[in-house]
Amino acid sequence: MIGWMEFWRLYRKNYGAVGGLFVLIAIVLVAVFAPVIYPVDPFEMVGRPISEPFGDFLLGTDVLGRDILAGLIHGARVSLMIGIVATLCATLVGVVFGALAGYYGGHIDDVLMRITEFFLTIPSFMLAILLVAIFSPSITTIVIAIAAVSWPSVARLTRAEFLTLRDREFVLAYRAMGMPDWQIILGHILPNAMPSIVVVSSLMVATAILTESGLSFLGLGDPNLSTWGHMVGVARGVLRTAWWMTAIPGLTILIAVLAINLIGEGLNDAMNPHLKVR
């Protein structure tokens, strides 16, 4: 493993990644301190409906006269939380599948990989819709649905890493020492596979946020929470008269997702320096 200073030295070289990091930190701070810095209820009708930006309200109001800025700020909490929690769940499932398949091989590998391939082939967004629709939308079902469609890529990657690591000398040595399999997997192979897994997971947060916004755009969001995708969905009805109402939340999603993607690339440069392509 490389030290933190070395990590930062490599990460810093990627200007985009540094910029992404600053943007993400800003978004996280805003999300965490939302009730303090902007204590406006995103569901409260505070002004005249469909008022333009830079008037009484910095970003205007929506069709029901709710403050759009408040929606964005409070929506950041939901988007980030769903993105992160869903990614953690997906990573956990994917690592378990991939580790078992890669370490044991044989029939276990066959069965687990057939399941993984099945989930990779089917139209994932439709699966997510089906899950959320049947179990009625709530933050839990959305997280489960996003995790259910995201874990296969982690499983594939983890399996590939385990396949190359399981026959290396240090693993053979531990096995010869009589160390139990689970200790070898968790204590010795997994840490070596971690850099790649971290990179894929960080990029997955971005995809999860995109999926969540798509779901809530379709009206499959948690009805008690204001989210960015939902705001786009609501504003769609007045696209002809007030296009900016659609543009603003969508742009926010873009910026957040872009920042996370840039960070993912920076992590890749810093954690897997040997992979850096030109």
Contacting positions for other proteins (CB under 8 A):
16, 114, 118, 120-131, 133-136, 206, 210, 213-214, 217-220, 229, 232, 236, 239-240, 243, 246-247, 249-250, 253-255, 257-258, 261-262, 277-278
CB 229, min distance to other proteins, A: 7
CB of 234 to other proteins, least distance (A): 12
What are 88's two structure tokens? Answer: 């953690």
73 with 84: CB under 8 angstroms?
no
Residue with tokens 């950041």: 76
Q: Minimum CB separation from other proteins for residue 232, in Å?
A: 6
Nearer to other proteins, 61 or 252 (CB): 252
Closer residue to other proteins (CB): 118 or 182:
118
SS3 67: strand
Q: How far is the CB of 2 from other proteins (least distance, A)?
A: 24
How many Å apart are CA 215 and CA 135, to the nearest integer? 14
* Residue 61, helix vs strand vs coil: strand
Cβ within 8 Å of residue 85, ≥6 positions away: 143
Dihedral sign, CA of 234, 235, 238, 240?
Answer: negative
Cβ 25 vs Cβ 262: under 8 Å: no
As measured in angstroms, the least distance from the Cβ of 214 to other proteins is 5
Owner of token pair 């200790």: 183
Whether residue 221 contacts residue 82, with contact meaning beta carbons closer than 8 Å, is answered with no
Nearest of 102, 125, 139 to residue 224 by alpha carbon: 139
Question: Given the complex with other proteins, which of 32 and 254 has the nearer CB atom?
Answer: 254
Closer residue to other proteins in complex, CB, 70/263: 263
Task: Give the nearer residue to other proteins in terms of CB position, either 215 or 270.
Answer: 215
94 vs 137 by CB, closer to other proteins: 137
CB 104, min distance to other proteins, A: 22
Q: Give the integer Cα–Cα distance in Å for 162 and 156.
A: 10
**Smallest distance from other proteins to CB 261, Å:** 6
Helix boundaries (H) for 105-241: 106-121, 124-134, 139-165, 169-176, 181-184, 190-217, 228-235
Which residue, 89 or 189, is less far from other proteins as judged by CB?
89
